[in-house]
Amino acid sequence: MSQSWCSIGAGRTGFAYSGAFRTKARFSVEVYIDTGEKEKNKQFFDRLYAQKEGIEKEINMTLSWERLDNARACRIAVYREGSIDASEEELNELQDWAIETLIKLYLVNGSKRYNEIEPLCR
């Protein structure tokens, strides 16, 4: 069975990087937060959200901060136009964008920032 997304571990339990084809010809790259505990996920998200301005300035991107209160997990994402049915050239461009964006998103929960917020969420 084929999937419309790909996820890789971020090196910290409960954090993953994902790329996904969405509805309405959109593609997302995201940090997905799911420790298995809803309350802990929301705490991690809230601590990162408190740094929203600094994070977005540091990576020079506007992020979509999705706490997803009715779900267990949270996500911090970037969206752009993109369809799995696009031409090979467009898909290659989308792939390049996704790689660049994933590198920037690493800064969102890179080890320094994670180490700053993790003790606060115990």
What is the DSSP track for 25-72?
TEEEEEEEE--S-HHHHHHHHHHHHTTHHHHHHHHT---EEE--TTSS
pLDDT digits (tens, 9 = 90+) for 83-107: 999 999 999 999 999 999 998 888 7
pLDDT at 73 over 70: yes
Are 71 and 23 in contact by the 8 Å Cβ rule? The answer is: no
Instruction: Report how many domains make up the chain.
Output: 1
Going by the DSSP 8-state scheme, the letter that residue 120 receives in this structure is G
For residue 98, give its domain range.
5-121
pLDDT digits (tens, 9 = 90+) for 3-56: 688 888 877 788 899 999 999 999 999 999 999 999 999 999 999 999 899 889
pTM metric for this prediction? 0.84
Q: What's the rounded Cα separation, in Å, for the pair 106 and 17?
A: 8
- Name the percent of the chain lying above pLDDT 90: 65
Q: What is the mean pLDDT of residues 107-117?
A: 62
